[in-house]
Amino acid sequence: MATTALAAVSTAVALTALTGCGSLLKEAVCGGAEYPVLAVGDHGSACVQDGEEPDEGWARYPEGKVPRHVDDRWDVYWRTHTLDENGDIIELPAQ
């Protein structure tokens, strides 16, 4: 009887994860061998291959403020902020 109850709980947890109801599956901002960058002084973000530097006009996110998943804390924050040419965080004007 305990085995049946454990199986039922395991199945419920798996279904929740697969349907997204548990928000366990989050979309990554970049692919596995990439890191995110943001447009300097403007709206926008992109992904750069690991081992490469961002193109001119793009910058790495400040340490500890890197978005990892779509709609995570930093992904939402950087929609209204960016870096200026000195690397200081600035608020973006509304689009």
Question: Hey, where are the domains in the chain?
Answer: 27-91
Find tokens 């530097």 and name the residue. 53
Query: pLDDT higher for 11 or 61?
Result: 61
Assess contact for 78 and 40: CB atoms under 8 A: no
Q: Is residue 78 packed enough to be buried (19+ CB in 10 Å), middle (13-18) or exposed (0-12)?
A: buried
Question: What do you get for the CA distance between the two ends of the chain, in Å?
Answer: 59
**Predicted confidence (pLDDT) per residue in 20-49, tens digit:** 444 578 999 999 999 999 999 999 999 999
